[in-house]
Amino acid sequence: MLYTITLNPAVDKVIEIAGTLEREQNNKIKKVLYDIGGKGCHVSAVFSALGLPNIATGFTGGRNGIKLVELMEEKNIKCEFINAGSTNTRECTILVDESNLGSYMVTESGELPGEKAYSELILKIQKEINENDIAALSGSPATGFPKEKYCEIVKTLKNTGAKVFIDARDEYLKEVINLEPFFIKPNKYEFQVLTGKKLEKTADFIEEIQRLNEKIEIVAVSLGEEGSIVGVKDRGVYGFIPPKIDVVSETGCGDIFVGGVISKYYLKKDIEEIFRFATAISASKAAHFLSSDFSLDQTSKLLPLVKIKKYK
């Protein structure tokens, strides 16, 4: 089974602005759509689109929690979220204008889950996840969520024997490194924060990635339009470069990339096939308006256009 754990999911309000978003102007809205939000939820969308068995868990609450589950179920995602108590799942806003310069993401910090909900999640992991499973812990917890609890979740996941994939940032990512998850996917900024270095040259990334590969099997650093640099323990370091496409919104590309990686890993594909697919499906997401939308047909067409480099 493929599990996603999203501690602070969202309902994404995706707004299309006519023209270019300007300060001190009346920016007119062309359309508003609601979408599943939160990085783990987007990972689940890839699993379900590919027909892979999966369960989405984490914390939800209130009216937005109900709305999120409805939106997830429309995508055939099986949801087993834990009720976080009286809290309301956050709403995040994505602004997409017509400048073709990328979207704006404005996120609420979310509300902290109660103690009862936290213990329920730990128990659920212990009881239901096992060594044949893969678990993706993706996205930021609510502001103020203790690092110790985050680490306890990761330790509990690791103790089940499942392969643990992490998409985290800042202090959570830093803390989690010593717990040796199977996979991490920081973006360029997150990787610079993690290493404490202003990395620019590919060689600098490679050096840091290889250092991390001593503890972590797969380290994938996503670089937006430039693709990714991926280090695999005892195998080497690769570059995966997507073809040029007309970008509509890059929000969600990293999440869909992670979904692509896990799906192909689950299907026991080799490293080149795994990341070629992840790169192509992530590029397809960029051509779509909603943060969880992509096309599998377009992905198939993009696959042969992904360039692969073997750096080390």
* Range 17-76, binding ligand TA6 (CB under 6 A): 37-39, 42
User: Smaller CB distance to ligand TA6: residue 32 or 123?
Assistant: 32
Determine, following the binding rule CB under 6 A, whether residue 140 of this chain makes contact with ligand TA6.
yes
260 binds ligand TA6, rule: CB under 6 A:
no
Nearest approach in angstroms of CB 78 to ligand TA6 is 19
> How many residues are present in the chain?
312
**Whole-angstrom distance, CA of residue 121 vs CA of residue 187:** 27
Piece of 8-16, 122-130, 158-166, 205-213 that binds ligand TA6 (CB under 6 A): 8-16
Q: Does 239 bind ligand TA6 (CB under 6 A)?
A: no
Lookup: tokens for 277: 């697919």
Spatial CB neighbours of 94, under 8 Å, sequence gap ≥ 6: 12, 13, 14, 15, 103, 104, 105, 106, 249, 251, 291
Distances (CA, A) of 288 to 30, 102, 126, 296: 16, 12, 37, 12
Among the listed residues 4, 8, 103, 284, the single contact to ligand TA6 using CB under 6 A: 8
- CA dihedral of 7, 10, 139, 295, whole degrees rounded to 10: 130
> What CA–CA distances, in Å, run from 301 to 27, 51, 297, 298, 306?
36, 20, 7, 5, 10
Q: How far apart are the first and last CA of the chain?
A: 33
By CB under 6 A, tell whether 251 contacts ligand TA6.
Answer: yes
- The token pair at 8 is 């602070």
C-beta closer to ligand TA6: residue 87 or 251: 251
Based on the shown chain and the rule CB under 6 A, indicate whether residue 4 belongs to the binding site for ligand TA6.
no
In the list 10, 72, 136, 302, the residue contacting ligand TA6 (rule: CB under 6 A) is: 10
Query: Rule CB under 6 A: is residue 219 a binding residue for ligand TA6?
Result: no
Q: Residues touching ligand TA6: how many (CB under 6 A)?
A: 16
**For residues 232 and 260, which CB has a smaller minimum distance to ligand TA6 in the complex?**
260
C-beta neighbour count of 132 within 10 angstroms: 10
Binding site for ligand TA6 (CB under 6 A): 8, 10, 12, 37-39, 42, 92, 107, 139-140, 251-252, 254-255, 291
